Amino acid sequence: MNEERYAYRVRQALNHGLKDIPSATSRRLEAARHLALSRQKQAMPQMALAGFGSPSVRASSHVPYLKQILAIVALLLGMWISFYWHSVQYVTALEEVDSALLTDDLPPDAFLDNDFFEWLLDDSPEE
Amino acid sequence: MAFRRLAGGIILALGLNLALAAEPPATVLIGTPPQPGWSQLNAQQKNILAPLSKDWDSMEHIRKKKWLGIAERYPSMKPDEQQRMQDRMREWAALSPAERSKVRDTYKDFNQLPSEQKQVVKQKWEAYSNLSPEERQRVRESGRSSKLLAPNTPSASTAPAAAEPNSQNQ
């Protein structure tokens, strides 16, 4: 409770003091605040770019959304590479099966003949 | 036992082939780059893939890529395999995607069989494929497929009683 009262007092004293600040001082305070804010804004991009260590990356601040565009391009490229790899595997598997069945001495017609294979299956418990 | 697996595979293939119709996944469609047209193939490729020349330019990228892969394997095939490939290429390309997918599925299961069972299936097919469609139906309805391997196949097929002992000999 005491602490709260103390804080309240301090706040009141400061608010009261505001009225007594001369206008020149308040202008200087304002200028100092702007200066502090502008330095803070500059510090942030520099920190973000520090990892790249290259001045050319600063160009990103001039081209809007460059980083986002680069990220999307990288994502699309990654997706296409993964699709391409999937396609290579798929086509290779097709190639293997087709070259085997087209050169086998049992022709593809045999596998298309439902009646024939069903008939063989009817026998299978006997074998 | 292996025949059971073939049975399962065939039943599955029969059941699913119409529903799934063997469409390649979208990722594969996107990931396959455009393939050369017929006029851009080299002389050796044209020579091997000659039966496909008419259909080539209308084929999907995936199929073109597959055939180019097969053409690459072709020189390492035995002469009789090369001949079979040439004989079957056009007919195979003319099948519907669902039919091709069905044949592939059944073939994969067939390939898992032990070689002596494969041999039996081949002998049965040889005897069966020489029959006329009417005879095929008659022989199927009259008994077990093992009687196809009896010495006097077509005539035996008309007498189901005679076929029984043969089938037990197998």
Which chain A positions have a beta carbon within 8 Å of B107's beta carbon? 97, 100-101, 104, 108, 111
B37-51 pLDDT, tens digit per residue, is 999 999 999 999 999
Q: Look at residue B18 and tell me if it is in a domain.
A: no
Q: What's the pLDDT score for residue B159?
A: 39
Q: Where are the alpha helices (DSSP H) in B74-114?
A: 79-94, 97-111
Burial of A121 (0-12, 13-18, 19+ CB in 10 A): middle
Q: What's the pLDDT score for residue B118?
A: 86
A39-83 pLDDT, tens digit per residue, is 876 655 555 554 454 555 455 556 788 999 999 999 999 999 999
Range of the domain at B120: 115-170
**Cβ-defined contact of B108 to A97 (cutoff 8 Å):** yes
pLDDT bucket at A2, cuts 50 / 70 / 90: confident
Q: Look at residue B147 and tell me if it is in a domain.
A: yes
Q: What's the pLDDT score for residue B153?
A: 45
Distance CA B98, CA B104 (A): 10
Q: What's the pLDDT score for residue B8?
A: 56
* Helix (H/G/I), strand (E/B), else coil: A86: helix
Top-confidence residue, A75 or A12? A75
The answer to whether ipTM exceeds 0.85 is no
Provide the domain count of chain B.
1
Q: Look at residue B130 and tell me if it is in a domain.
A: yes
Taking the C-alpha atoms of B7, B11, B16 and B17 in order, what is their torsion angle to the nearest 10 degrees?
80
Q: What's the pLDDT score for residue A43?
A: 58
Q: Look at residue B32 and tell me if it is in a domain.
A: no
Tokens standing for B29?
A: 């469609």
Q: What's the pLDDT score for residue B69?
A: 95
List chain A domain ranges: 1-57, 63-127
Which chain A positions have a beta carbon within 8 Å of B137's beta carbon? 115
Q: Look at residue B96 and tell me if it is in a domain.
A: no
Dump the DSSP string for B9-68: HHHHHHHHHHHHTTPPPHHHHHHSPP---GGGS-HHHHHHTGGGHHHHTTS-HHHHHHHH
Residues in chain B with pLDDT values less than 50: 14-20, 153-170
Chain B 130-169, residues with CB within 8 Å of chain A CB atoms: 136-137, 140, 144-146, 167
Top-confidence residue, A118 or B49? B49
Q: Is the pTM of this model over 0.80?
A: no
Q: What's the pLDDT score for residue B166?
A: 41
Q: Look at residue B63 and tell me if it is in a domain.
A: no
To the nearest whole angstrom, how far is the Cα of A120 from the nearest Cα of chain B?
6
Tokens standing for B116?
A: 């002596």
**Cβ-defined contact of A102 to B85 (cutoff 8 Å):** yes
The sign of the CA dihedral B81, B83, B84, B88 is: positive
Which of A88, A109, A124 is opposite residue B7, by nearest beta carbon? A124
Q: Which residue in B160, B116, B60 sits closest to A91, CA to CA?
A: B60
Distance CA A90, CA B32 (A): 10
Burial of B72 (0-12, 13-18, 19+ CB in 10 A): middle
Q: Look at residue B47 and tell me if it is in a domain.
A: no
Across A10-38, average pLDDT: 85
